[in-house]
């Protein structure tokens, strides 16, 4: 019974008006959740946790850098799962979501690289090193930009999305490279400090802001993804009746 309901719900999401309504309703809640998590996380990161005994206050950059890095990679995995669904079942709303994920993922990758650089200058004495972790993260940014460029190069958006979905799957090979780069090669970048399985090497008092910020950026990724997908859907369906009805409503298109 539950499986049947899930299946029906999944199929309903393929309907553009239903998908549009979901984006419109869900996005503000996700943004609100992000604001709450970010407010608590930033307060704890700047006011509550003590300075590191070696790095001083510079380690506070990691409360931005680490969640951004995790989200850049998690965002890519989500995009790849959506790409498989889009290619196999050819659901247009999923194609739109896949393509909407790229700019948000690219923003997190750029934020991760920039904050890593800002941490590296005082701690390593350099803004950049051609280290395996840093280089593979830079490659991730180029892959995200390549996907966005390829999608934009096609006048037929559906054809562009399908070609870009194949590039998404090709680029997936970079994710394990990023993750294991600190184990496979000798890198300037430190190894994993936080472990899901086993003991973390970070002091427990420093974990709460990291958890709040990580949850916050995940909610923000979802919100930005739905906002962008909603725009692409309106843009693609601008000649269709359901969009015209939304725009023509007395609230001067506030529902669109």
DSSP assignment string, the chain: -HHHHHHHHHHHTTSHHHHHHHHHHHHHHHHHHHHHHHHHHHHIIIIISPPBTTTBGGGGGHHHHHHHHHHHHHHHHHHHHHHHHHHHH--HHHHHHHHHHHHHHHHHHHHHHHHHHHHHHHHHS-S----HHHHHHHHHHHHHHHHHHHHHH-SSHHHHHHHHHHHHHHHTTHHHHHHHHHHHS--SS------SSS--SS-GGGHHHHHHHHHHHHHHHHHHHHHHHHHHHHHHTTTSHHHHHHHTSTTTTTT-
Taking the complex as a whole, how short is the minimal distance between the CB of residue 103 and another protein, in angstroms? 8
Chain positions 101 to 140 lying near another protein, rule: CB under 8 A, are: 104, 107, 110-111, 114-115, 118-119, 121-122
Of these, 37, 40, 68, 150, which contacts another protein (CB under 8 A)?
Answer: 68
> Which C-beta is closer to another protein: that of 12 or that of 238?
238
Q: Does 224 bind another protein (CB under 8 A)?
A: yes
Binding mask 88-107 for another protein (x = CB under 8 A): ----------------x--x
Count of residues interacting with another protein (CB under 8 A): 41
Of these, 126, 191, 235, 242, which contacts another protein (CB under 8 A)?
Answer: 235
Taking the complex as a whole, how short is the minimal distance between the CB of residue 105 and another protein, in angstroms? 11
Of these, 15, 18, 58, 200, which contacts another protein (CB under 8 A)?
Answer: 58
CA distance 236 to 159: 13
Binding mask 36-55 for another protein (x = CB under 8 A): --x---x---xx---x----
Which parts of this chain interact with another protein (CB under 8 A)? 31, 34, 38, 42, 46-47, 51, 56-58, 60-61, 64-65, 68, 104, 107, 110-111, 114-115, 118-119, 121-122, 220, 224, 227-228, 230-231, 234-235, 238, 243-244, 247-248, 252-253, 256
């Amino acid at each position: 019974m539950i499986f049947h309901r899930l299946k029906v719900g999944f199929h309903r999401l393929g309907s553009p008006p239903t998908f549009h309504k979901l984006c419109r309703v869900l996005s503000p809640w996700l943004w609100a959740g992000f604001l709450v998590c970010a407010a608590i996380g930033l307060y704890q990161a700047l006011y509550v946790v003590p300075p590191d005994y070696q790095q001083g206050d510079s380690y506070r950059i990691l409360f931005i850098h680490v969640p951004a890095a995790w989200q850049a990679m998690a965002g890519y995995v989500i995009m790849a799962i959506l790409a498989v669904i889009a290619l196999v079942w050819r659901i247009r709303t999923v194609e739109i979501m896949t393509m909407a994920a790229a700019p948000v993922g690219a923003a997190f990758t750029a934020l991760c690289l920039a904050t890593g650089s800002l941490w590296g200058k005082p701690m390593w004495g350099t803004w950049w090193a051609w280290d395996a972790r840093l280089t593979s993260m830079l490659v991730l940014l180029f892959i995200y930009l390549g996907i966005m460029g390829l999608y934009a190069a096609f006048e037929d958006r559906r054809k562009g999305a399908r070609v870009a979905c194949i590039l998404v799957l090709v680029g997936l090979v970079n994710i394990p490279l990023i993750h294991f780069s600190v184990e496979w090669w000798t890198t300037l970048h430190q190894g994993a400090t936080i472990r899901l399985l086993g003991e973390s090497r970070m002091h427990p008092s420093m974990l709460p802001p990291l958890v709040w910020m990580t949850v916050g950026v995940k909610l923000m990724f979802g919100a930005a993804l739905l906002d962008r997908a909603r725009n692409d859907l309106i843009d693609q369906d601008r000649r269709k009746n359901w969009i015209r009805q939304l725009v023509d409503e007395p609230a001067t298109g506030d529902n669109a």
